Amino acid sequence: METDTIHWRLRFDLPKRFESLVPPVITEILVAAVLVLFAIGTRLLVELAFGDVVEFALVFPAVVGATLLAGWRAGALVVCAGQVLAWYFLLPVKGSFQFATAGNAMSLALTTGAEALMLWFVAGYRGAMGRLVDAEGGRILALQQRVEALDAQARADAKLRRHEQDLHQTRQNLVAIYDASADGLTLCRAIKSAQGEVVDYQVLEVNKAHEKLTGATRAQMLGSVVSQIMPPVNPLWFSSADRAIKTGEMQQFDVRSIATGRWLNIRVSRVSDDLFQQTFVDINERYALEEQRQHLLKEMNHRITNNLQMVASFLHLQAGSAGPGVKDQLQAAEGRVQVLANLHSLLAYTESDREIDAGAYISELCAQLEKMIDRPQDIKLDGACARAANPS
């Protein structure tokens, strides 16, 4: 019904329909003129066929048509023009504005009043229909806007659901990747002091490999602060996180898990201003190989030292039973072998994990080398070393 009403307004309100082409007043005058001519032409045809008929009969439909099509001004023009033409051409005396009788004047006046009354009713009906059309049009526009808003909301909801599904799938994929990693992974939020330094941190996420490497369960870690999980905490954990967040560069260090006894390489990477990730890499095999290498190296050094000592002992025994010239040569060879044994012991000493005094070590090394020099008066080794200032 609303669509039909709007179509009626567009189809029959000619001034509004053609207002983009001509002013509405011109359309009203043209509609009035066409309908007046239509009434006159129809009246002439009827008069030719049937003789004299009622003078004002066709003015009524012309008034109705003009009012409906172009408004009350067009209808008023039809009333005025139709009455004037009927008065002049149809009422006695024809061809003049005189009346043959007083009844003719009364007939013109009554007809004009009736047409004016009909014009008022038709104009009122047309106005009511126009207001109805405007109201219905407004309601339809509001409904269309509401439908468009609902469609837009439905599209937005569908898009949001797709995004939520994508995010859910992405989270599942990330969790799968996180848990599938052979390295232990933790996502942490830094807890900073008033000076902006990391003094603690909260564990936000933990993967499965972390429990295997450290012995700490996900239930123990998740949501807890590290100072409560394993007190006391080595400050290296906090300082590494602080440097990683401030510089953006990955920090790493090695620790040995108290629970599992395995050596782990800890890599700390920045995620945001207060988030960082820890990666726990199992390096226990590397440490085991290093310990095995140290053990084999110590065994080899021990055997070399024993062999040199054995050679020196053989030379000492040979010197005891040798003649004077040979004895001196054998004792000199024994001394050189003994120096080689001492040098080897010194060099093997540096392979240990202990700290050494570089000055004393170099002085001892030079002293042993001097023993191997045939003409010590010609060559002097100075092994003095200056102690470096403590940078702290």
3-state secondary structure the chain: CHHHHHHHHHHHCHHHHCCCCCCHHHHHHHHHHHHHHHHHHHHHHHHHHHCCCCCCCCHHHHHHHHHHHHCHHHHHHHHHHHHHHHHHHCCCCCCCCCCCCHHHHHHHHHHHHHHHHHHHHHHHHHHHHHHHHHHHHHHHHHHHHHHHHHHHHHHHHHHHHHHHHHHHHHHHHHHHHHHHCCCEEEEEEEEECCCCCEEEEEEEEECHHHHHHHCCCHHHHCCCEHHHHCCCCCHHHHHHHHHHHHHCCCEEEEEECCCCCCEEEEEEEECCCCEEEEEEEECHHHHHHHHHHHHHHHHHHHHHHHHHHHHHHHHHHHHHHCCHHHHHHHHHHHHHHHHHHHHHHHHHHCCCCCCCCHHHHHHHHHHHHHCCCCCCCCCCCCCCCCCCCCCC
CATH number for position 204: 3.30.450.20
Q: What pLDDT was estimated at residue 358?
A: 63
Q: Is 15 found in the same domain as 143? A: yes
Same domain, 240 and 198: yes
262 in the same domain as 296? no
Q: Is residue 173 part of a domain?
A: no
**pLDDT tens digits, residue range 46-63?**
878 877 666 677 888 999
Residues 57, 93 within the same domain: yes
Is residue 115 one of the residues assigned to a domain? yes
Q: Report the pLDDT value the prediction gives residue 1, as an integer from 0 to 100.
A: 45
Q: What is the pLDDT of residues 124-144, one digit of tens each?
A: 988 888 788 778 878 888 898
Same domain? 145 vs 222: no
Question: Residue 29: its pLDDT value, please?
Answer: 92
The span from the CA of 315 to the CA of 123, in Å, is 145
Q: State residue 357's pLDDT score.
A: 65
Residue 91 backbone phi and psi in degrees, to 5: -75, 145
Task: Quick: pLDDT tens for 221-269.
Answer: 888 898 888 778 888 999 999 999 999 999 999 988 888 888 999 999 9
**Confidence class for position 33, pLDDT limits 50, 70, 90:** very high
State whether 273 and 295 are in the same domain: no
Q: Binning pLDDT at 50, 70 and 90, where does residue 365 land?
A: low
Query: For residue range 187-214, what is the model confidence (pLDDT) as tens digits?
Result: 999 999 999 999 999 999 898 888 888 8
C-alpha distance from residue 386 to each of 354, 358, 368, 380 (Å): 21, 10, 20, 19
Q: For 11-30, how does the pLDDT look when each residue is reduced to its tens digit (9 = 90+)?
A: 568 888 888 899 999 999 99
Q: What is the pLDDT of residue 127?
A: 86
Residue ranges making up the domain that contains 314:
289-370
Looking at residue 273, its pLDDT comes to: 92
> Is 110 inside any structural domain?
yes
Residues 360 and 339 in one domain: yes
pLDDT confidence band for 391 (50 / 70 / 90): very low
pLDDT confidence of 2, banded at 50, 70, 90?
very low
Q: Is 203 exposed, middle or buried (0-12, 13-18, 19+ CB in 10 A)?
A: buried
Closest CA to 41 of 85, 94, 87, 102: 85
pLDDT at 375 over 80: no
- Report if residue 163 sits inside a domain: no
Residues 197 and 270 in one domain: yes
Does residue 275 register a pLDDT over 90?
yes
Q: What is the pLDDT of residue 279?
A: 93
310-337: pLDDT as tens digits: 887 887 788 777 777 777 777 778 777 7
- Which helix (H) or strand (E) covers residue 222, if one does? none
302 is a domain residue: yes
Give the confidence band of 178 by pLDDT, cuts at 50, 70, 90.
Answer: confident
Q: Is there a single domain that holds both residue 91 and residue 207? A: no
User: Looking at the structure, do residues 36 and 103 belong to the same domain, yes or no?
Assistant: yes
Are residues 37 and 110 both part of a single domain?
yes
Residue 355 lies in a domain: yes
Residue 384: inside a domain, yes or no? no
Q: Tell me what pLDDT residue 171 has.
A: 80
Average pLDDT over residues 152-166: 92
pLDDT band at 368 (very low <50, low <70, confident <90, very high): low
pLDDT at position 162 is: 92
Domain co-membership, 294 together with 264: no
Query: What pLDDT score does 249 carry?
Result: 94
pLDDT of residue 369: 67
Q: How many domains does the chain have?
A: 3
**177 belongs to a structural domain:** no
pLDDT band at 350 (very low <50, low <70, confident <90, very high): low
* For residue 64, pLDDT beyond 70: yes
Question: What's the mean pLDDT when you consider all of the chain?
Answer: 82
